[in-house]
Amino acid sequence: MLRISKLTDYGTLILVHLASVAPNKPCPASEIAAGTGLALPTVQKVLKKLARGKLVVSSRGADGGYRLAREPDAIDAAEILDVLEGPLAITECSHDDSHCELESNCQVGGAWQKISRAIRAAMTEIRLSDLRNPPTEFPLRYTILSESGHLGRTDK
């Protein structure tokens, strides 16, 4: 139903890989490719994006490579999506600065925006360290909370 691109998926694999190697010495793209089973050119492409997005830092030259810019628990899923997918929102007009010609007739109003923001908030709480390792039972559960109580269950 909702979809992330393959590149984003690869990106998380790569980040998870980086999270599981020695954080001191940089890890070259070739090693990451070998470690993840992904094609080298693809890995290089994704790493460039990750570096531009400041999720990893690079060192050039011999003995160079990439390492995480921060601790795995200080990188969240929303950031990863932002860097690899761009700050695209769930619909065109979820952009804060977008102009929607239908706006005047648009009954939906800000509903998708709200949903989008809500999902984003949830993604912010998922950290790279949580993505690591097959979660045999990752007791993750989302609930819609509503002050007015008409959506889902309330907080107490």
Partner DNA sequence: AACAATAGGACTATTTTAGTCCAATATATG
Partner DNA sequence: CATATATTGGACTAAAATAGTCCTATTGTT
Q: Does 11 bind DNA (CB under 7 A)?
A: no
Q: In 3-state terms, what secondary structure has residue 68?
A: strand
Q: State which residue, 59 or 154, has the beta carbon closest to DNA.
A: 59
| Encoded tokens for 41 | 């050119």
Q: State which residue, 116 or 127, has the beta carbon closest to DNA.
A: 116
From its own copies, DNA, none, interface partner of 115 (C-beta below 5 to 8 A by class): its own copies
Residue pair 102/154 in contact (Cβ under 8 Å)? The answer is: no
Give me the 53-92 binding string for DNA, x by CB under 7 A, dash otherwise: -----xxxxxxxxx------------------x-------
Q: In 3-state terms, what secondary structure has residue 65?
A: strand
What minimum distance in Å lies between the beta carbon of 59 and its own copies? 23
Distance in angstroms (rounded) separating the CA atoms of residues 18 and 27: 7
What minimum distance in Å lies between the beta carbon of 70 and its own copies? 18
Sequence-ordered list of residues with C-beta below 8 angstroms from that of 145, at least 6 positions apart, any chain:
151, 152, 153, 154, 155
What minimum distance in Å lies between the beta carbon of 100 and its own copies? 10
